[in-house]
Chain A
């Protein structure tokens, strides 16, 4: 185990023999760090945080810090990070809240570029990219292989679908459908993420079916239920089309275009009216 002598590792921390802890790092007592993970200088890992294997965490990141949420009352919630993630300078990842499920989860092989922020109770699946200064508010889910360009803000309880591409400085207020390009101050679907789909080896027939689905759902006058039925009829043999339809129907079952709104805890009957914006990541 290579721990620089200037690092502060509190008693109780579990660090694998092959992990490397750089100068001036601060590791809390409930932290577990897996094999081959490297912390460069000045990294802070706190809270009940588990970090898997072969991650690289760059200077001045703070992982497992308290949520920026008024409901948080000091509960012992968790942060879990998988394997082979790259977390660049100044990234902050907050732990969960008990009312939001109690855990913030990062999967495998993701890249978080400098200054990105992941709030409480978020889930980032695998192979995602969050470019510089992206902000995820609380309870957000980013599905596999989604790409968020620089300075993207995602509204709390929103979901970004798999292999979606969010254009730079967009504001994602509602669920962003899978396989699509989404962009804008109030982000809208702009087209199919053809480049991303090709890179991930999606068959040309499926890409063409997604193009047709885009035309029917977002560029025709058909009401949404009829449009989805039409897309299902002509492209239902493709897994990507079924995923897209399932995603859109689930979003409609939520509130304000966000499926995960159903996870928002109901206020107690005697409580004062809740603040609509529970946090302002």
Chain B
């Protein structure tokens, strides 16, 4: 582990050997960080958080909270500056799949479940207990209400408030939001149901 001397890493944390930890980071007890992860300056990982291989956390990214519930993060995700993932308040874990991209200031609400190959643009906010399926694409400044399902390979345009579930493959636009079409930029329906 290559850790900056100003970083605070709890002795009860488990960090793989080749992880890089930048200045002023905080890694709390109960955190497990897999190999090839990078933590930029001032990243905070707290609570029972499991991080898989090859995740990148840019400056100020904050995952979980001391005393919070369980968070599970897969492999190869990118969390840009000040992105944050909230710990669940009760029950199931907040889970993040693999190969996702979270833009600056993206917030993932407690208890939410994010699939894989999802892209969420800057300043978008997901409420509590949301489900975002694989390959969904959410542009910047969107607001997703609590308990909403965002279907696989759907596309939500910038600044859209999502107040209802979004079926797979649909494009959502407008304020108030409405379904516009099948997502013309998405994969063909035959391919969309396959494995990521």
Which A residues fall within an 8 A CB radius of B? 6, 8, 24, 26, 42, 44, 60, 62, 65-66, 68, 90, 92, 115, 117, 133, 135, 137, 151, 153, 169, 171, 185, 275-277, 280-281
Q: A92-B81, A280-B138, A281-B122 are in contact. Are A153 and B158 (CB under 8 A)?
A: yes
- Tell me the minimal C-beta distance from A24 to chain B in angstroms: 6
Q: A65-B58, A68-B101 are in contact. Are A135 and B123 (CB under 8 A)?
A: yes
Indicate if the CB atoms of B140 and A153 lie closer than 8 Å.
Answer: yes
Closest-by-CB residue of B relative to A70 is B101
* A–B pairs, 16, beta carbons within 8 Å: A24-B23, A24-B24, A60-B60, A65-B80, A92-B80, A92-B104, A117-B140, A135-B141, A151-B159, A153-B140, A153-B141, A171-B157, A280-B103, A280-B120, A281-B103, A281-B140
Chain B, 1-46, CB within 8 A of any chain A CB? 4, 6, 22-24, 40-42
Cα distance A277–B173 in the bound complex, in angstroms? 15
Q: Which one, B23, B41, B105, B185, contacts A277 given CB within 8 A?
A: B185
Which residues from chain B contact A275 at a C-beta distance below 8 Å? 185
Most-contacted residue by chain A among B104, B139, B184 (CB, 10 A): B104
Indicate if the CB atoms of A117 and B159 lie closer than 8 Å.
Answer: no
Cα distance A151–B159 in the bound complex, in angstroms? 9
Most-contacted residue by chain A among B123, B137, B138, B184 (CB, 10 A): B123
Indicate if the CB atoms of A44 and B59 lie closer than 8 Å.
Answer: yes
Which residues from chain A contact B141 at a C-beta distance below 8 Å? 133, 135, 151, 153
Indicate if the CB atoms of A153 and B4 lie closer than 8 Å.
Answer: no
Closest-by-CB residue of B relative to A115 is B105
Q: A8-B4, A280-B138 are in contact. Are A68 and B103 (CB under 8 A)?
A: yes
Which residues from chain B contact A66 at a C-beta distance below 8 Å? 58
Cα distance A68–B119 in the bound complex, in angstroms? 11
Closest-by-CB residue of B relative to A6 is B6
Q: Which one, B101, B159, B184, contacts A185 given CB within 8 A?
A: B159
Indicate if the CB atoms of B22 and A26 lie closer than 8 Å.
Answer: yes
Indicate if the CB atoms of B23 and A26 lie closer than 8 Å.
Answer: yes
Which residues from chain A contact B185 at a C-beta distance below 8 Å? 275-277
Q: A65-B81, A90-B82 are in contact. Are A135 and B140 (CB under 8 A)?
A: yes
Which residues from chain B contact A90 at a C-beta distance below 8 Å? 82, 105
Chain B, 51-66, CB within 8 A of any chain A CB? 58-60
Indicate if the CB atoms of A60 and B123 lie closer than 8 Å.
Answer: no
Mark each residue of chain B from 173 to 190: 1 if its CB lies under 8 Å from any CB of chain A, else 0. Answer: 011000000001100000
Is the CB of B151 closer than 8 A to any CB of chain A? no
Mark each residue of chain B from 134 to 152: 1 if its CB lies under 8 Å from any CB of chain A, else 0. Answer: 0001111100000000000
Indicate if the CB atoms of A280 and B119 lie closer than 8 Å.
Answer: yes
Which B residues fall within an 8 A CB radius of A? 4, 6, 22-24, 40-42, 58-60, 80-82, 101, 103-105, 119-123, 137-141, 157-159, 174-175, 184-185
Indicate if the CB atoms of A280 and B59 lie closer than 8 Å.
Answer: no
- Tell me the minimal C-beta distance from A207 to chain B in angstroms: 31
Closest-by-CB residue of B relative to A10 is B23
Indicate if the CB atoms of B41 and A185 lie closer than 8 Å.
Answer: no
With A135-B122, A153-B141 known, 4 other A-B pairs at CB within 8 A are: A68-B122, A135-B158, A153-B139, A280-B158
Indicate if the CB atoms of B104 and A42 lie closer than 8 Å.
Answer: no
Q: A60-B60, A62-B58, A135-B141 are in contact. Are A153 and B119 (CB under 8 A)?
A: no
Indicate if the CB atoms of B121 and A62 lie closer than 8 Å.
Answer: no
- Tell me the minimal C-beta distance from B118 to chain A in angstroms: 11
- Tell me the minimal C-beta distance from B159 to chain A in angstroms: 6
Cα distance A24–B59 in the bound complex, in angstroms? 12
Cα distance A277–B103 in the bound complex, in angstroms? 15
Which residues from chain B contact A137 at a C-beta distance below 8 Å? 140
Which residues from chain B contact A133 at a C-beta distance below 8 Å? 123, 141
Which residues from chain A contact B82 at a C-beta distance below 8 Å? 60, 90, 92
Which residues from chain B contact A277 at a C-beta distance below 8 Å? 137, 139, 185
Cα distance A90–B105 in the bound complex, in angstroms? 9
Indicate if the CB atoms of B22 and A62 lie closer than 8 Å.
Answer: no
Closest-by-CB residue of A relative to B173 is A185
